Structure 1
């Protein structure tokens, strides 16, 4: 019946409301007389019936005038009282005036009672219908809103007006709100959650706390992990205020909420020092770190931002994004997308000299540990020689500042990728002694959430496909940081450099990857499948450590670590070589790469003081194929 009424055309619904309001006016009119006079009310007086007809028609016209019938009942709010008030006041004044004009008997208290009844009937009926419509769950999914503050109430209103979710309860940690009813929805404490989930068969909990601290958010999310519910969240307060998202734009709880920290407010002076009104070049601009560096650099208003990238699609994507941002925000920055590889020094020199590059952020590198193990020569060429050529081009063209994006895997490396990154650091440290103008520095940090090759997007995809989640070792531990925070800290660290500095970012507490996987499964509203729970949803499968992979990552080699003016940035004083000594190793490495002598490459990386301690044999796939007589050799893990 309700569905049929809702499907009627707007004009038909308006006629029905006119008929209902006429009935309500009748009840208010004669109800007022009945309350005042009881059985002696003039029910049979033709004069009073004529008065009623005039009042009814006039009141309907007044309601039309004040816009009472423009309101959609499904979306009625408390504002209906203000609209109805003017119509009912006008109707009451007409009642008094017309009764006097037509000399109709009207006790003095009847207009007061009539006004009260008509307000109650008109507004109460509309709120009742709204409640009836909102409580008609239908195909809507019952949900709990965590957070009964302003954002939670806005979310409640949005959900009531929608047709997807039906809010059955609020949960809030503020004891003053407990047992309060907001728009018909009661507020409970956190301890009531398991009972509420069971009672209403809840599969989703919606977080409506965009402005709380990161620590508080982590605490709340941790308390929800063991409930059989998916946890969704409204956008952050900044996105809501700036209009980039709506309150109803629900999303899965980001793993940033679990692993992130309260960010330290960036130092605006440090952010702008090497960028503002300068020509800035970012190598590897299409990668995870490179692209975020470009976004942060753009905000500091350089005169020119050069995007240097070997991937055509990567360059196209970041150039299109940044051009759109620059246009919308009126940054006035000239964005230059350039294809090229860091392994061609003449290309690099030409670019830096042509555009007068003043600052270089060198993020181009091969970072995926197993792939570099399988492609050793290309890893060495890109990471070591790519950094060398970029640095030499910077010196030749008079670049002021050169910052290398390094990694924690350069510390006591067990894999070729880590060894090449440490070698890159040695190159810059040696060249910093030779260069008179260019200030070289490097910034070392751990894993970033959401980067290409990161476990987080991999786990998300595996959960989405029903599992299993593949994990190399149950005890593996990593440091994590969000990409925006890492990029901002890289820029600020580079601004503090004096020459040859090795900066180390404070990565916070290490994270056990197995625990990360279990939390991601639980927050998706799923259960872990194992021997204890064979009927679970997602299995965590241990596959064994990959070539060159460590159980634990480190950030420092030596113990000489000093703080800086920034609480998240430290400096490390470590062993270095003169360019005279290092250049001999570089020449040997170049010759070995040209001849594809992988044994010699490894021997050189072991001789140079990189701390290289390989845990596997040579895993290069071409080398294995050339040196194996067993056709199945490539299937054997090195």
Structure 2
């Protein structure tokens, strides 16, 4: 699928982008374009990939339509990873989140259609489901724009994927907790009742690639994900990295933060199908006949809602997840 193809990755210098680049290089693409704003991060990535000639680094911002128009020219596939993601930052600077996460997504859609990109894969988040914070709202808008974009072009297909918290990415809690424990400090936690979905970077990229390969346009792919109480996660880290009991300080829920995250809402559940053993696929309420026919053999999901406090990992399962993620 990707052999001799040109691929654009927005926000490509982040954890997702670098792992995606590693895996895509194995498919022998003609060129992978890394589009981002941070020149230092690009130089670091260029060295990390030993100046692979298939990588082309492009300084640009998704807010700049003309920059995207140039970046998508002759591209076959676009992976849209760029976003402002920090919940409190988006709460306090909503205008900036809107420019990047909504206007930037519109720019991706329009530039991809003009340049005849085959498929655009948008990376979304559980926070886009029943959003209570501005970040989640912008990502929800982004999903709607992407799904609707399938009606704007007969040649360019658009699909979304939803994930939870990815271990080790920028802003991930695990490195923060680990640092606090190793320094003998109190571990700060917003609430002991809080639960979250987690997946490794490798799992996240597998979902991304799966969606890019099988999607025909208009779907939202969701991975079946493990979830746990954050306090249990801290305790597992504390048992591994300290001989003493780990002190935990509750600091209260931050602006726009939920106790539990949702990957599939009760409104979406009736349109959600089981896709193999690892995925769900959400169809739009007014799915085209082509889209319905493509998935007519799949069974509907049995849940009313897919929420992070439904089934929780045991301490041994959390340990296994952290070990597989390279944190233990």
User: Which category of TM-score, normalised to the shorter sequence, fits these structures?
Assistant: 0.7 to 0.9
Partner residue, 1:206: none
Equivalent residue number for residue 347 of structure 1: 67
Deviations 1:355-384 (A, max 9, x none): x11100000001111111111001011001
Higher helix share: 1
Are 1:516 and 2:233 matched, yes or no? yes
Query: C-alpha deviations, 1:193-229, integer Å up to 9, x for none?
Result: xxxxxxxxxxxxxxxxxxxxxxxxxxxxxxxxxxxxx
Residue in structure 1 matching 2:247, options 539, 545, 559 = 539
Q: TM-score, normalised by structure 1?
A: 0.44
Preserved CA contact (<8 Å) 2:90 2:135: yes
Cα drift, residue 463 of structure 1 = 1.3
Residue of structure 1 equivalent to 2:242? 525
> Are residue 466 (structure 1) and residue 184 (structure 2) matched?
yes
Give the distance between the partners of 1:372 and 1:318, measured in 2 at CA. 26
Aligned partner of residue 405 in structure 1, secondary structure? strand
Aligned to 1:178: none
| Equivalence for 1:597 | none
Q: CA deviation at 1:314?
A: 1.8
SS at match of 2:247: strand
Q: Evaluate the alpha carbon distance shift between residue 318 and residue 499 of structure 1 in structure 2; reply closer, same or farther with a 3 A threshold.
A: same
Residue 422 (structure 1) aligns with: 140
Residue pairs, 1:139-538, within 5 angstroms: 273=1, 275-323=2-50, 326=52, 334-353=54-73, 356-508=74-226, 510-528=227-245, 538=246
Contact residue 182 and residue 242 of structure 2 kept, 8 A:
no
- Which structure 2 residue ranges, 5 or more long, are not aligned? 288-328
User: Structure 1: 5+ residue runs without aligned partners?
Assistant: 1-272, 327-332, 529-537, 578-638
Count of residue pairs brought into register by the alignment: 284
Q: Whose Rg is larger?
A: 1
For 1:554, the equivalent position in structure 2 comes to: 262
CA distance in 1 between counterparts of 2:163 and 2:3 reads 25
Higher relative contact order (CA 8 A, sep 6+): 2
For residue 319 of structure 1, report the CA deviation from its aligned partner: 2.0
Partner residue, 2:281 = 571
312 and 576 in structure 1: CA distance in 2 versus 1, 3 angstrom threshold: farther
What corresponds to 2:302 in structure 1? Answer: none
Offset of residue 493 of structure 1: 1.3
CA distance in 2, matches of 1:546, 1:466: 24
**Partner of 1:451: helix, strand, or coil?**
coil
TM-score by length of 2: 0.84
Q: Which has the higher strand share?
A: 2
Q: Which residue in the other structure is 1:242 paired with?
A: none
Which whole-Å CA distance do the structure 1 matches of 2:49 and 2:101 have between them? 26
Tell me the C-alpha RMSD between the 2 structures.
Answer: 1.5
Counterpart Cα distance in 2 of 1:468 and 1:361: 39
Tell me, in whole angstroms, the C-alpha distance in 2 between the residues paired with 1:504 and 1:421.
15
Shift of the 338–382 alpha-carbon distance from structure 1 to 2, 3 Å rule, reads: same
The 8 Å contact of residues 8 and 71 in structure 2, kept in 1 or not, is answered as no
